[in-house]
Structures are given as structure tokens and as C-alpha cells.
Amino acid sequence: MVIPGYAKFILALLICDMISSTMIKTYHLSNYTEHWRIVVAIAVYVMVPILLLLSLKYQGVGNMNFYWNVMSTVFVFLIAIYYFGEKVTNSQFIGIVLAIFGVFLVIHGSGSSEQ
């Protein structure tokens, strides 16, 4: 299986989102006393536009933004459930499954992707 060139950028964007979201949530849980957490969140999130710009070599901005947004939502949602113990409703679960299916359709849809 050949991994597309843009996959490394999606992974990097996901890591940035997961770190930032986790730092923001833990900053909130610390009653806004651990200020270093928000500094880390901001510092990591600064990388997002740079990574998005570099990814345009492989995919159009629409596709990259779609992949990143949906996959980020899924992974941050999983962190919220398993790390922070947040509850999930049936409709939220169905929404996540549909989002994953949407990514599959975009990646494997017929036709070529224009940049």
C-alpha cells in the first residue's frame, strides 16, 4: 500500500490539534492556573497554517482542510472520551461514523482531484 504524500501533513496537523486541544482542556481543568498549558497550545497551533501551506504541494486546500477538520474532530473526540471521560450520545457517535465515511468517500471517490 502506497501512502499518499499528503498523509504526513494530515498526521502533523492531527498531532498539532490533539496537543492544542488537550492543553486547552487541561488548562480549563486547572481552573486557569497552569498558564504554561495555554502557551504550549498557542505555540503548537501556530504550526497549522505552515503545515497547511506545505501540504498544498500534494492536495488542494479544500481536500486538505476537509481531511484535517474531520480527522481532527474524530481524534479529539476520542481523546475527550478516553482521556477526559466525557460521555458520548448515540447521535454524536453516528455523526462521527458518518464523518469517517465522508472522508472515505472523498479519498476514494471517482474523478480526479484538481489543485
What residue spans define the domains of the chain?
7-108
The amino acid at 36: W
**Cβ distance 20 to 45 under 8 Å?**
yes
Length of the chain, in residues: 115
Q: How far apart are CA 38 and CA 23, in angstroms?
A: 6
pLDDT of res. 23: 96
The amino acid at 12: A
Neighbours of 80 (CB within 10 A): 16
For residue 83, name the pLDDT band (cuts at 50, 70, 90): very high
- pLDDT at 102 > cutoff 90: no
- pLDDT at 89 > cutoff 90: yes
Q: How far apart are CA 70 and CA 9, in angstroms?
A: 14
If we measure between CA atoms, which residue out of 16, 39, 45 comes closest to residue 26? 39
